[in-house]
Structure 1
Amino acid sequence: MHPLLSAEQAVLGAVLLDPDQLSHLGWLAPDHFYRPVHQALFGALRKLHGDGHPALSADGPLPLSWVIDAVDEARLHVRGLTSVYAHTLIQACPRIEHAPVYGRMVLEGAIHRTIAQHAIGLHQAARADAVQGEVERVLRRADVLTGVLTDLARRWGTDPRPVAPTGAPTAAWAVPPTVQTDQVAEDERFLLAVLTEQPRAMDEVAAWLRPGDFADPAHGRLYRCLSALHHRGEPIDRITLLWEAQRRGLLSDGTLSGEQLAAVCDGMVPGSADWFGHRVMRHSLTRTAAASARAVRALAEDEVLVPGRLINHALHALDPLAEVRTRWAIANGSPTRKPRTSAPSAGGPPPARVQAARARSTPLAAASPPAPTGPIPAPAAARPPARGHH
């Protein structure tokens, strides 16, 4: 049996045996469970607990009505749940007092699963926008994914900040790049031709267009040559561009041939550099979004990564998209988005983060913990670990 399934059964069995365990699982939600039947049952247990079920105030052994009513409530939302399975869950719980640890395992699985699902959504949006020549859908999905990562970080009790993965990339990262279409290559050639024919047009795109925005590496290196001539204030034409390309080794390493360079320079294309530049930039944004989505999904599918590292590595994988997005906003005259900040507040970490961290690390030993440095809410009155049912 998969450890995640065992953890889901164990945390439900613990709550069925001792409803007071729900007071230690306030950070766990029904949708964190993988199986729909487990989602429905945990939601029912929370509802009965919140409504003040009579079994909670009963003296002596826990009444069997707690289990029966929980199963009946869950049946309203899912099929196939029986009282027999509820008792199977009870038997699957080794130690009732370990419920917060079992809940943490469930939350870990939910974090990996949720990040992978939103990464897939971002990748699908990038592919759709690339076909339709738009970016609105992919920008919305990127905002959603960033918000999900921030929310999951707070639930887990960690500080959301981009952290680069250490060590060599895994095989899951070795994903082939997006196939370059004829339209993308044509837009790039047309832009280079306009910039060569109209040197002043470099002023229109130099502030936001970068060599890495070109899908064809040869076109990107050729644009770098144009940018260098423009930066030095030197004249730009087919001869100076050929000379700069030779100085940078584009002819000697086989990146370009003289004939290919001449074909770009001699292509008389009527049009605006700003217009072609925007098209190249749109392709770059959707292409970068797809690459970031693949990287985030590869991270989420790595079961070795603990949630804190997974979230921070995923935020780092989105940084290239944020950089391209900032330049896209500049190209369109829009205000740039504020960068993510992770500086702690003057009053310390948020209470929700503290609560999540404490819930994940509640000591199980009987030894007294060290003296706290700040006020800690008084724990709820503990019910005997095993009350049983009658």
Structure 2
Amino acid sequence: MNPLLSAEQAVLGAVLLDPDQLSHLDWLAPDHFYRPVHKALFGALRKLRNDGHPALSADGPLPLSWLTDAVDEAGLYVRGLTAVYAHTLIQECPRTEHAPVYGRMVLEGAIHRTIAQHAIRLHQAARADAVQGEVEGALRTADVLDGVLTDLARSWGTDPRPVAPTGAPTAASAVPPPVHTDQVAEDERFLLAVLTEQPGAMDEVAAWLRPGDFADPAHGRLYRCLSALHHRGEPIDRITLLWEAQRRGLLADGTLSSEQLTAICDGMVPGSADWFGRRVMRSTLTRTAAASARAVRALAEDEALGPGRLINHALHALGLLAEVRTRWAIANGGPTPKLKTSVPSAGDPHPARVRAARARSTPHSAASPPTPSSPAPAPAAARPPSRGHP
């Protein structure tokens, strides 16, 4: 039995049996249903309610026209829907008064699907940008995903805030080194050569380029050596770089050989460190966008995650991209972008709608016993039995 399918059938069956349940489901939309036939039928039921169907004001038993008219209206948008299936939906509803809870289950499934779909789009946009040497498509799609997460959080009734899942990877290990193209590797070698041979070249990239931006881990460790020399104010050339690489164990652990370092330095071409650095940054931005998309999709496909945790974990996964995006803006001299995931909106839903979306009923408080006017003990029949006595 599919829990989500059962929830969709149950909420529709509840509304078919009791149209008044629609007043408790104003926060539920037809698009929240997964099956097209359920989506069309729920939209038809809401339309009949909004049009003032006679069944809503009828006295006595619910007229059969409520069911048949809903089936006819939904049949304008989908095929194969019959009154027989509508009766099946009614049979699948255990209790009509539980409709808000069934609707919450439908909304939860819709949140998982929506996040997964937008994560797939982000991954596709990042891969396309990587091939075309651009970043605009990935950045726009990431903005859309960020806005969708914020809207879903408010629909669910929670505050959108990034929260790291248990055992979340660090920023350095969250982006696995993908299969990089020869062009990316060549850009990294040229950049390292320029940084080594051109005096003052590190000043152009030190503020925004990081070792983790290199697709080749060996290139990243070599750039770390250059950054260390630059930070200490020591001169940079092929000899000092070779010495720093030896001190950091790059020659001993086989990461790099002196011949490989010499080949990188000899491969310098006329160019700007800033220009090559921005090419490396562009590559890491698309890689990070793809990695964030994969992480968000994996979260969305985890059915054990509640919507609140899913949304906040997904926002945390997007934070890795936000950090790279900030440095990309610095490298290009533009304004620093800021995500608006935690900024409240003036159009927040009414608290009553939030409570309905959560479908968490408020228990009635038990009536307080009357205060006795005298210290006389209560009758024996009203006194609860003491523990340990018959």
Q: Structure 2-normalised TM-score?
A: 0.89
Cα distance between partner residues in 2 of 1:153 and 1:342: 10
Is the Cα–Cα contact under 8 Å of residues 229 and 236 in structure 1 kept in the other structure?
yes
Asked if 1:122 is matched to 2:122, the reply is yes
For 2:238 and 2:357, locate their aligned partners in 1 and report how far apart those are by CA, in whole Å: 67
Counterpart secondary structure, 1:200: coil
Q: Corresponding residue for 1:27?
A: 27
What is the rounded CA distance, in whole Å, between the counterparts of 1:343 and 1:141 in structure 2?
20
Tell me the residue number matched to 1:62: 62
- Partner residue, 2:259: 259
Q: 1:175 to 1:337 in 2, by over 3 A?
A: closer
- Shift of the 75–369 alpha-carbon distance from structure 1 to 2, 3 Å rule, reads farther
Given candidates 358, 370, 375, the residue that maps to 1:360 is 358
1:152 counterpart SS class: helix
Equivalent in the alignment of 1:165: 165
2:200 is paired with a residue whose SS is helix
In the other structure, the counterpart of 1:215 is: 215
| Inter-CA distance 160–174: structure 2 relative to 1 (3 Å threshold) | closer
Q: How does 1:144-163 map to 2 (within 5 A)?
A: 144-163=144-163
* Alpha-carbon distance, 1:362 to partner: 3.5
DSSP-derived class of the 2:63 partner: coil
2:297 paired residue number: 297
Within-5 A mapping of 1:234-383? 234-340=234-340, 342=342, 350-352=348-350, 355-363=353-361, 367-368=364-365
Does the 8 Å CA contact 2:147/2:341 hold for their aligned counterparts? no
* Amino acid aligned to 2:118: H
Q: Which structure 2 residue ranges, 5 or more long, are not aligned?
A: 368-390
Cα deviations across residues 239-294 of structure 1 (Å, max 9, x unaligned)?
Answer: 01111111112112221111111111121311111111111011000000011111
Q: In 1, Cα distance between the equivalents of 2:91 and 2:328?
A: 57
Q: In structure 1, what is the Cα distance between the partners aligned to 2:223 and 2:366? A: 63
Distance (Å, rounded) in 1 between the aligned partners of 2:168 and 2:323: 24
Contact kept? 1:156, 1:353, Cα under 8 Å:
no
Residues 353/220 of structure 1: CA separation in 2 closer, same or farther (3 Å cut): farther
Alignment of 1:78-93 (within 5 A): 78-93=78-93
Shift of residue 338 of structure 1?
2.2
Offset, 1:41: 0.5
8 Å CA contact 1:155, 1:353 repeated in 2: no
Correspondence 1:141 to 2:141:
yes
Give the SS at the match of 1:357: helix
Percent identical residues: 85
One-letter identity of the residue aligned with 1:191: L
Secondary structure at the counterpart of residue 223 of structure 2: helix
2: CA distance, partners of 1:141 / 1:342: 19
- Structure 1 regions of 5+ residues with no counterpart? 371-390
Q: Does the CA-based 8 Å contact 1:154-1:353 persist in structure 2? A: no
- SS of equivalent to 1:275: helix
Task: Work out which of the two has the higher radius of gyration on C-alpha atoms and give 1 or 2.
Answer: 2
Instruction: Using the TM superposition, give the Cα deviation of residue 359 of structure 1 relative to its aligned residue in structure 2, in angstroms.
Output: 3.9
CA pair 207-118 structure 1, distance change in 2 beyond 3 A: same
> Equivalent residues in 2 for 1:159-198 (5 A)?
159-167=159-167, 177-198=177-198
Question: Does structure 2 conserve the Cα–Cα contact (< 8 Å) formed by 1:154 and 1:352?
Answer: no
Matching residue of 2:384: none
- CA deviations on 1:112-154 (whole Å, 9 max, x unpaired) are 1111111111111111110010111111110111111111111
Aligned-residue CA RMSD in angstroms?
2.3
**Separation in 2 of the partners of 1:205 and 1:174?**
23
**Amino acid in the other structure paired with 2:107:** L
Q: CA deviation at 1:237?
A: 0.2
Q: CA deviation at 1:103?
A: 0.5
Instruction: Give how far 1:178 is off.
Output: 2.2
8 Å contact from structure 2 (residues 14, 96) kept in 1: yes
Residues 287-296 or 249-258, more deviating: 249-258
Task: Answer whether contact 2:129 2:137 (CA < 8 A) is retained.
Answer: yes
Aligned length: 365
Q: Relative contact order: is structure 1 or structure 2 higher (C-alpha 8 Å, sep ≥ 6)?
A: 1
Offset, 1:199: 2.8
State the AA in 2 paired with 1:316: H
Q: Are the aligned partners of 2:157 and 2:354 in contact in 1 as well (CA < 8 Å)?
A: yes
Structure 2 counterpart of 1:261, one-letter code: L
Q: In the aligned structure 1, how far is the partner of 2:207 from the partner of 2:341? A: 25
2:70 counterpart of 1:95? no
Query: 1:157, 1:352 within 8 Å by CA — same for their partners in 2?
Result: no
Amino acid at match of 1:360: R
CA distance 1:244–1:174, change in 2 (3 Å): closer
Q: Which residue of 2 aligns with 1:227?
A: 227
Contact residue 4 and residue 109 of structure 1 kept, 8 A = yes
Native 8 Å contact 2:25 2:356 kept in 1: no
Structure 1: which amino acid aligns with 2:154?
R
User: Where has structure 1 moved over 6 Å in runs of 4 or more?
Assistant: 173-176
- 1:342 CA drift (Å): 3.0
